[in-house]
Structure 1
Amino acid sequence: MQFLLLLLVLLLIPSSAILPTVQIVPQNPSSSPIYAAEAFYGPSLPADNSLNLESSFPPSNDRGLCASLDDPVTNFDPPSSEFAFLIPRGNCTFEHKSRRAELYGASAVVVYNNAEQMFFGNATESEINGGLISSFPTSKVDYECSNGEAHVPKSSLYTPYYSRSNDDLFAECSSSKSCSSDRCVATGEVNSDDEMQVCCMWDLHQYLYPDYSQTEPSPTIPSVFITSSQYDAVQPTLPLTLQIEQRPRPKYNASSFLIWAWGCFVAVVASRISGSELSRALQKTQEKMRRGSASTPPPSESSDREGTRGREDDIGAGESMELTAKHALGFLVMSSVTLLILFYLNIYAIITVLYAFGCSGALSQVMIYPFFRKIRSLTGWRNLDEICCTLPLDIGDCTYLDVTSTALGYGVGILWYCYALKTNASSYFIYWFLQDIFGLCMCTLFLSVIRLPSLRVASFLLVAAFVYDIFFVFISPIIFEKSVMITVATGGDGPTTDPMVCEKYPDTDGCKVPNPLPMLFSIPKINDYQGGSSLLGLGDIVLPGLLMSFACRLDLSKALVSLSNGEEKDKNVSGYFFYVCVGYAVGLMMANVAVYVMEMGQPALLYLVPCTLGVIIKMSMKRGEFEDVFKGPAVMNQANEILDEIEGGVGGSGSERASENGDALQDGERLLSPNISNSDVV
C-alpha cells in the first residue's frame, strides 16, 4: 500500500510542549528576545508587521485586572503613546483580563506567570483583598517535588511564603539539575521537625484559553503569555518600549525544494535502472557493430559466463511482472480497503515492522549486494562466491556474499526500527536519513519488478489512482469528518490530553506524539522554529514511475531494434523518457507550490498524472504512434527477443541478426516506422 500524498506538516513539534509563536523584543541593547505563547482569543499578531508599545502596569487597586467589567476605570494615567499592560496571572480568566485592559485603553496584554498567584488559586475575592492565604500551590499543577525538593525550618521562612526573600532559603531545592525553573515554592506540608517542604515550581508557557461562559465578542487586542523567569529578566529595565511580533519563519522552506529534488532523482534513477537489461544489450550491440563481424572472435566460455552473470545481477532479474487492467482495478480496491483499515484500526506498529522487514531486503538487494560485488571485482576476493550454507524452503545454496549482504541489510533495518520506536522519531537524523534510503531502494526494486506493457494499462492505472487520491484527500472529510489520507499518513490523531499536562508529564496517556507511517520520504524543515518535515509518499514515485519506466524501456527498445536492423539513429528525433521526466518534475513542483498556496496537504497525483500521462499521449499522437503505444508497442517484444539472443550468447553481427529477424516477420512488419527506428537512446 503506497500513500499518494505530498504533505508539509509539523511532525517535529513535540505536542507535549506549548509552542511560543510570538516574540517580544525589548528596545534595550542588553535584552534578548522573549518568546511568548499567543492567546486563542482576540486578534492574532500580523505576520509581516510588529507592534511597538510602551510597557505599563495597571493601577494598584486593579493590579490583576480582575475587577468587574462594570467597574469604572480610575487611578490610571495612560502613557502618551500606545501601550501594553504587563499583568500577573491568576484570580480571573485570561479573557477577562484582556477585556478589562481594553477599558484602560491598552493595545496589548502581556500576562506573566507568578508564584504569588499559586497561593491564591482557591481563595475567595474577600480573602484575597484581605491578604489572607487560603491555600498553597497544587502538586503536579504548580510544582513537582521529583524535580527538586528541600525542607526548610518553618520558623525561618518569611511571610508571605511567596516572598522572594525566601529564595536563598530554597537554594537547595532550586539548584537541583532537574529544576528547570530555578525556583521553588512552599507546598504547605510540614514534617515532624516543623520543617516546611519546598518543591520545584513549574514555570512553563501556557495557552490563554477563551472564557466559554462569556457571550460577548472577543477582545480586540492581542494577548500573550510569558514565564516568570522571562518577566524577572526584563523587569529591572522597565519601563521600556516592547516590540511585539510573530516569530519569523521562512515563507518557503528549503526542505520543500530538497524533497522535490530527491523525489525527482529517485523517480528518474529507479525508472532508468528498470531498463538496465536493454541498456546493456544495446551497449553490447554497439560494440559488435563497431568491431565488425569479421574481426569478432567467437564468444568464450568466460565471456558467456560474465554476460549471464550481468543479467542475473540486474535488480529484480527474472522476477518481472507485467500489470493488466485487472491489476489496476485490484490496486484501487485493495488500496481503499487498506486505507480504511488503517483509518479505523490502530495498527501502525504492525505496518512499521512489516516495512522495516521489507526495506531490509530491498536495501540488501539494491545497494549492499551490488556494492560487495564491485568490491569483489576490484579486489579479486573470489572466495565471496563460495557456498557457505544451504537453506530450506527452496532458498537453496547461499554464498558468503549473499549472507553478508543480507545480514548487513537486516542489521540496518533493526537499527532504523529501534529509532522508530522512539517518540518523535522524525527528529532523529539517522531515522529519516535511513528512511529516505529505504524508500529509494523500495522504489528501485518495485519499478524493476513491476512493469507496464502498454499505455492502455498505464492510463487505466493512473486515472484510477488519480480519482482515488482526490477522493481520500478532498472528498473523504465530507463523509468521515476528516481527511482519511492525511490522518493515516501522519500517523493518526494527535494527543488528546491538555498540552500543559503533556509538557510536564509526556508519558501520560493521551500525550504520545504519533509518528507518520514510514512509506514516505521525509526531510526536516530548515531554520523553522516550529520544526516539521516535508513529506512525499512513495506512491507519488512508483505510480508515475511505472509510466516513466515504460517510456524508458520503449526508447531503449526502439534503439536496440533499430541498431540490430543496421539503421542509423537520427539524433534530431528524441524519445519519450526525457519529456516524461520533465513532466514529472513540473507536476511535483506544482504540487509543492499548491501546498503553500492552499496551506494544506495535497494529493500529488492530481498534478503528476496530467503532467506525465498527458505528455506521452500528446507526443505519441503527434508522432502517429498512439495506437501502437496504446495497445502495446510491438518493438518491445522484438527487443526482448534480441535481448534473449544477446544474453544467451547468440553470435553474429547486427546485420545478420536483422536478416534472421526479417525472415521470421511478415512483410511490412520487419522494419519500424521512421519515427520509431530513428529514436535516440535515453
Structure 2
Amino acid sequence: MTICAFCAFSVQLYSPRRPVVDIAEVFLWLMAVGTILCASYWSAWSAREVAVEQDQLLKDASDEVTSPKGLGVSNVVDISTASAVFFVVIASCFLILLYKLMSSWFLDLLVVLFCIGGVEGLQTCLVALLSRWFKRTGESFIKVPFFGAVSYLTLAVSPFCIAFAVIWAVYRNASFGWIGQDILGIALIITVIQIVRVPNLKVGTVLLSCAFLYDIFWVFVSKSLFHESVMIVVARGDRSGEDGIPMLLKIPRLFDPWGGFSIIGFGDILLPGLLIAFSLRYDCLAKKNLRAGYFLWAMFAYGLGLLITYVALNLMDGHGQPALLYIVPFTLGTFIALGKMRGDLKILWTKGEPERVCPHVGLESNKE
C-alpha cells in the first residue's frame, strides 16, 4: 500500500448565476405602470365630472355667479410649490428617523400606520368601484359617532378592509405576505393620487425636481456621511430583522437562486403619478385625443425611465439605484419639451387647465 505524504487538493466555490431578466422586475414594472394608469383615469374622470357639474351650476346660477372660481371639490387637495418643497423636507426627516430608530418595535409601529392607510385606501377604491352597481346604497347615509355621515356601502365594505389588513399584519412574514402588502399599497397609492393633485406644471416640476435630488442624496451622497446608503438600509430593513419596511411594493425573485425580493418604493410610483395624472386631466379638459395629448407620452416616458432603472440595477450587480434619477428626467423632460413644441407650456406652467368659456356669460349674451 502506498501512502502519499503530500496530496494536492483544489477547492472550487460554486456561485450560481442570476437570470438576465428577472420575472419579478417585469411584474413590478407592470404593477407600477398599471397603478399610475388606473389612478390617472380615475382622477381624470373625477375632474371631468366636476367640470360638467360646474358648467351645469353656472347655467342655472343667478346673476351673481359669473365665474367658475370657488366651485371646487372639498375632498381634493391641490399642492403648492411651498408644500412640494416642504414635503421633501419632511420625507428626509422621516427617513432619518427610520434610519436611527429602525428596530422590531418601530417596524411594528410602521405596520400599524401602514394598515391604517391601507384600510382607508382599499375602502375608498372598493366603494368607488362598487357604487357603480350599488348606487342607491352608496348614496344613502347614516350618522356614525366620531365619523359623521357615512354611506351604507362604506359600512358594508369597512369590515372586510379592516379584516384584510389585520390578516396581512399577522401573516406578513409568511411566504404569501407580499401579496397583501402589494394590494394595500396599490390601493393607498391610487387613493392618494385621487385626493392630492398637482394643479399645474410649475408645481409638478418643483415636486419632482426636489424628489430627484432627495433620491440621489439619500442613495449615493449619504454614504459619505453615514458610511452606508441610508435609503437602501431603510428599504431593506437591515436592523429590523424583517424583509424591509411595508411602504414599498415587492415581489419574490422566484427564479433567482439567491432568492430575495425585487422592490420599488411608493414614492417612485406616487410622485411621478401625480404629474401623469395631471397630464390626463389636462387632456380631458382640453378634449385632446391620446396622440395629440400629453398623457400617452408622459406614461411612455415613465415606463421607459423605470425600465432603464432596472437595466442599471442589473448592470450594477444588484446595487440599489435611485429610480427617480432615471424616471424624473424622462417624464418631466418629455412633458416640458412637448408643451414647448405645441405652444401650451405657458398655460400648463401657470393655469394647468385650458381656457373654458363660462356658459352663464354665454347665456346672458344670447339674451341681449
Give the TM interval when normalised to the shorter protein. 0.7 to 0.9
Work out the percentage of aligned pairs sharing the same amino acid. Answer: 29
> Higher helix share goes to which structure?
2
Deviations, residues 121-151 of structure 1 (Å, cap 9, x unaligned): xxxxxxxxxxxxxxxxxxxxxxxxxxxxxxx
Closer, same or farther: CA 384–580 of 1 in aligned 2, 3 Å: closer
CA distance in 2, matches of 1:661, 1:613: 42
SS of 1:521 mapped into structure 2:
strand
State the partner residue of 2:109.
Answer: 350
State the partner residue of 1:361.
Answer: 120
1:454 aligns with 2:200: yes
Closer, same or farther: CA 601–376 of 1 in aligned 2, 3 Å: same
Counterpart residue identity of residue 578, structure 1: L
CA distance in 2, matches of 1:363, 1:332: 26
Counterpart residue identity of residue 22, structure 2: N
- 2:362 corresponds to which of 642, 659, 668: 659
Shift in Å at residue 634 of structure 1? 5.0
State the partner residue of 1:341.
Answer: 97
Q: How well do the aligned residues superpose, as a CA RMSD in angstroms? A: 2.9
Shift in Å at residue 271 of structure 1? 1.5
CA distance in 2, matches of 1:410, 1:572: 38
CA contact (8 A) 1:343 1:492 kept: no
- 1:321 corresponds to which of 77, 80, 98: 77
Closer, same or farther: CA 343–618 of 1 in aligned 2, 3 Å: same
1:435 aligns with 2:181: yes
CA contact (8 A) 2:286 2:353 kept: no
CA distance in 1, matches of 2:166, 2:365: 55
CA distance in 2, matches of 1:462, 1:611: 11
SS of 2:131 mapped into structure 1:
helix
CA contact (8 A) 2:107 2:245 kept: yes
CA contact (8 A) 2:120 2:188 kept: no
Closer, same or farther: CA 572–598 of 1 in aligned 2, 3 Å: closer
CA distance in 2, matches of 1:351, 1:104: 58
CA contact (8 A) 2:290 2:296 kept: no
CA contact (8 A) 2:77 2:196 kept: yes
> Higher strand share goes to which structure?
1
CA contact (8 A) 1:581 1:612 kept: yes
Shift in Å at residue 323 of structure 1? 0.9
Alignment of 1:399-418 (within 5 A): 399-418=151-170
CA distance in 2, matches of 1:447, 1:661: 38
Shift in Å at residue 104 of structure 1? 3.7
Closer, same or farther: CA 572–549 of 1 in aligned 2, 3 Å: closer
Alignment of 1:89-108 (within 5 A): 104-106=7-9, 108=10
1:635 aligns with 2:334: no
State the partner residue of 2:26.
Answer: 257
Deviations, residues 335-380 of structure 1 (Å, cap 9, x unaligned): 111100110013222111111111012101112x234434435xxx
Counterpart residue identity of residue 37, structure 2: V
Counterpart residue identity of residue 581, structure 1: M
Counterpart residue identity of residue 253, structure 2: K
CA distance in 2, matches of 1:351, 1:554: 36
Counterpart residue identity of residue 554, structure 1: Y
CA distance in 1, matches of 2:299, 2:354: 21
Alignment of 1:201-600 (within 5 A): 222=12, 245-280=14-49, 318-346=74-102, 347-367=106-126, 369-376=127-134, 390-393=143-146, 395-420=147-172, 425=173, 428-429=175-176, 431-493=177-239, 513-559=241-287, 574-599=292-317, 600=319
State the partner residue of 2:330.
Answer: 611
Deviations, residues 270-292 of structure 1 (Å, cap 9, x unaligned): 1221111244578999xx9xxxx
Question: If the length of structure 1 is used for normalisation, what is the TM-score?
Answer: 0.47
CA distance in 2, matches of 1:247, 1:491: 25
Closer, same or farther: CA 280–251 of 1 in aligned 2, 3 Å: same
CA distance in 2, matches of 1:662, 1:352: 59
CA distance in 2, matches of 1:590, 1:415: 36
CA distance in 1, matches of 2:149, 2:353: 38
Aligned pairs, number:
346
CA contact (8 A) 2:197 2:274 kept: yes
Shift in Å at residue 552 of structure 1? 0.7
Counterpart residue identity of residue 597, structure 1: L
CA contact (8 A) 2:185 2:249 kept: yes
CA distance in 2, matches of 1:325, 1:551: 18
CA contact (8 A) 1:274 1:444 kept: no
CA distance in 1, matches of 2:260, 2:363: 61
CA distance in 1, matches of 2:53, 2:112: 43
Counterpart residue identity of residue 576, structure 1: Y
CA distance in 2, matches of 1:478, 1:590: 26
Closer, same or farther: CA 450–491 of 1 in aligned 2, 3 Å: same
Shift in Å at residue 529 of structure 1? 2.8
CA contact (8 A) 1:391 1:397 kept: yes
CA contact (8 A) 1:443 1:538 kept: yes
CA contact (8 A) 2:209 2:328 kept: yes
SS of 2:237 mapped into structure 1:
coil
Shift in Å at residue 396 of structure 1? 2.2
Counterpart residue identity of residue 275, structure 2: L
CA distance in 2, matches of 1:406, 1:545: 26
Larger radius of gyration: 1
CA contact (8 A) 1:361 1:410 kept: no
Deviations, residues 26-69 of structure 1 (Å, cap 9, x unaligned): xxxxxxxxxxxxxxxxxxxxxxxxxxxxxxxxx86xxxxxxxxx
Higher relative contact order, structure no. (Cα contacts within 8 Å, ≥ 6 residues apart): 2
List alignment gaps of at least 5 residues for structure 2: 61-72
Counterpart residue identity of residue 601, structure 1: G
CA contact (8 A) 1:360 1:410 kept: yes
